[in-house]
Each structure stands twice: as C-alpha cells, then as structure tokens.
Amino acid sequence: MIAAPPPGETRRTGPGDRHPTGAGALYLVPNLLGAVPPANVLPARTIELARSVDRWIVETPKAARAFLKAIGHPRPIAELAIDALPENPTHAELGALLVPTRDGHAIGFVSDAGCPAVADPGAALVAAAHASSIAVVPLVGPSAILLALMASGLSGQAFAFHGYLPVRERDRAARLLGLEAESRTRACTQIFIETPYRNAAMVATLASVLAPRTRLAIAADLTLPTETVALRAAADWRRVDASVYRHRPAIFLLQA
C-alpha cells in the first residue's frame, strides 16, 4: 500500500494543487457531534489538514458544508468539489469517486456527525480505497460510541454496537432481553442508539424488562454544554423522569 503522507506535510492552496508526495490519499475526517467550536473537540492537526483539502466525499452535502464553514476552510465553500456518497454505491461509483487520488490529489471523507465509517456510512468507500492501493488515513476526532463507553463505567474490554433496535415495543423488549443474556454470558457491554424523540420510550422499556441489577448507562448530548452521562441499575432507572432524554442524541449501554 502507498505510504500515507504525514498530515503535517500537506500544504495545498487550491483545488488543482497535488499532494507533495505525488500519492493521493483518502482522509477520514471526524465531524462535530453538535454545535460546538471545532477547536473544542478536534485537534489542531485535524482542522489544519481538513482546511487544506479541496475534494470531498460526504454523507450529506448540507452537513458537510456546515462543517467546512465551521472549521474556517480558506476557500469559498461553493468552489470545493463535494460529492455525496450514494446510499448503496456500486463498485463503479466508488471507483469514480476515488479517481482524483490517481493524480495525487487528497480526498477527504466526512459523515454527518462523529467518525466516518464507524456506525456511519463509508466502509465500502474505505474498502474500495484499499483495493486500489490508495492510502487511507484516519484522523482524530469525536466518536459518540467511544466517548459514551469511556464515561459509562462498563466493560471496555468486550463490547458491541448494535445500532437501532426494533421500533415495536414487543420486538424491542425481546431484543433487549437477548442482548442482556448475551452480556451476562460474555461479560460484555451492549451499545445501541434510538431516534431522539423515542428515547423516553426506550428508557421506559429498559427499566421495565431488564433485570433489576443490570447496569444501564445513558450518555446524552456528548461534547455539548448540556452533556450528561449517568450509570444506574435498571431498577433505579424506573424512578428517573425519562422525558429529560427526549429530543437529545443519546447512546445507551448495558451490562448484566
């Protein structure tokens, strides 16, 4: 695989400039988790490199433009090459998106929030880059999943992320009981999310179906001024006003 050029060596002033090494690379750029100053959550080198990249593959163009504006990209946003990643991209579409790297151009990939390709779109794009011997360079930034796990007090040695659980209460309860049983057997942390407006219903289901001593952590509004992280036994969550989590991005973690 082509050696990735060090982020600190990237110095480009316009969309036509080539990478100093002559080898293009795909940079995975973490996005903000909410409306906070970028310098609060992104290292200076991540911001510096993102500001130097003029070609982007993105989950949603609107969210990407907001990010590029927030970090103070030196070029007018309208002049940047921004291509949306198709929802189910074909091999040909992925190859076309990566063509500029063959001419030595750097490409940035950013999702709508957090780390791209982790519980977010992008894995197929990254795999396509590897298949074409394009250097893939992950940059440092916020991951809601890892931040929640760090702050939960639950096992960070064995854990799994399951995305969204079923919407129907009966199916959701059955899935939660299955996750709890697996957690008990494997001594692992189970991590999942919910659409914010359904958070209160999720808390109610968790409190009612989990064993009383199963530990449940909820991390909401991570990196924001309103951030909260709480760890309680399931029985104790029954006394919590779950409406405080309504409309707030949250990560749920349990360990039996």
- pLDDT tens-place string over residues 39-71: 999 999 999 999 999 999 999 999 999 999 999
Tell me which residue range forms the domain holding 179: 144-255
- In a domain? residue 2: no
Categorise residue 122: left if φ over 0, alpha if ψ from -120 to 50, beta otherwise. Answer: left
Position 23 scores a pLDDT of 65
- In a domain? residue 89: yes
- In a domain? residue 34: yes
Residues 33 and 106 in one domain: yes
Residues 154 and 134 in one domain: no
Position 49 scores a pLDDT of 96
pLDDT-derived band at 16 (thresholds 50, 70, 90) equals very low
Last residue of a domain, one of 89, 112, 138: 138
Q: What is the CATH number of the domain that holds 121?
A: 3.40.1010.10
pLDDT-derived band at 242 (thresholds 50, 70, 90) equals very high
Residues 134 and 148 in one domain: no
Last residue of a domain, one of 138, 153, 178: 138
pLDDT of residue 14 exceeding 50, the answer is no
Degrees to nearest 5, angle at CA 34 with 31 and 40: 75
Categorise residue 200: left if φ over 0, alpha if ψ from -120 to 50, beta otherwise. Answer: alpha
Q: How far is CA 161 from the centre of its chain?
A: 12
Residues 95 and 166 in one domain: no
How many other CB atoms are found less than 10 A from the CB of residue 121? 20
- In a domain? residue 242: yes
Is 167:202 a contact under the CB 8 Å cutoff? Answer: no
pLDDT of residue 2 exceeding 50, the answer is no
Residues 176 and 82 in one domain: no
Run of H or E residues at 179: helix 169-186
Residues 193 and 93 in one domain: no
Position 229 scores a pLDDT of 98
> How many structural domains compose the chain?
2
Is 118:145 a contact under the CB 8 Å cutoff? Answer: yes
Residue 251, beta-bridge partner list = 193, 219
- In a domain? residue 166: yes
Residues 78 and 197 in one domain: no
pLDDT-derived band at 204 (thresholds 50, 70, 90) equals very high
Q: What is the CATH number of the domain that holds 222?
A: 3.30.950.10
pLDDT of residue 36 exceeding 90, the answer is yes
Separation between Cα atoms, residue 195 and residue 166, nearest integer Å: 11
pLDDT of residue 11 exceeding 70, the answer is no
Last residue of a domain, one of 138, 167, 198: 138
**In the structure encoding, which two tokens stand for residue 171, read together?**
């199916």
Residues 107 and 163 in one domain: no
Residues 224 and 176 in one domain: yes
Residue 159, beta-bridge partner list = 189
In this predicted model, what pLDDT tens digit does every residue of 65-96 receive, in sequence order? 999 999 999 999 999 999 999 999 999 999 99
Residues 104 and 173 in one domain: no
Residues 105 and 148 in one domain: no
Residues 115 and 51 in one domain: yes
